[in-house]
Amino acid sequence: MEFPDLGKHCSEKTCRRLDFLPLRCSECHRDFCKDHFTCAAHSCPLAFQKDVRVPVCPLCHVPVPVRRGQVADVVVGEHMDGGCRSRPGKSGEKVFTFRCSREGCKRKELLPVACAQCRAHFCIRHRHPLDHRCGRPAVTAC
């Protein structure tokens, strides 16, 4: 044999293929063939260190930086508890602003629910013309 030291065996236990151009995992530093060099293909135990996605706060939509070794859910939870700009109850803005137009109903909705006939805003319970005693005739499109 001319080149006895050429190539390495794949570190994946089920493969062990002799590869003349092995690829090294950047996290666990083991050699793999072309089929198993990605972290997902060889179930790399250190793959979480390579995850470069930045989580976004679901309330204020601001990226929350996460350092290596930290759990993203915990960091985002701490952000929401402490430094979040849009915490419910923290700001003075009202969330449910669309009040029902039916007499005697004090419900409010997050989104406008307009009647197709009278164009007034109603809650989910009174959204249909029969539920709020709509007096206008139905508008038909030609």
pTM of the model: 0.35
Mean pLDDT of 22-46: 87
> Domains in the chain and their CATH numbers?
7-51 (4.10.1110.10), 53-88 (no CATH), 95-142 (4.10.1110.10)
Q: Which pLDDT value is given to residue 50?
A: 64
Residue 13 CA: distances (Å) to CA of 32, 35, 45: 10, 13, 14
Mean pLDDT of 132-141: 63
Counting Cβ atoms within 10 Å, is residue 1 exposed (0-12), middle (13-18) or buried (19+)?
Answer: exposed
Average pLDDT, the chain: 80
Mean pLDDT of 48-55: 72
Q: What are 18's two structure tokens?
A: 């002799």
Q: Confidence band (pLDDT; 50, 70, 90) for 32?
A: very high
Question: Using one digit for the tens of pLDDT, what is the confidence trace for 67-109?
Answer: 877 888 888 888 888 878 765 555 555 667 888 988 888 888 8
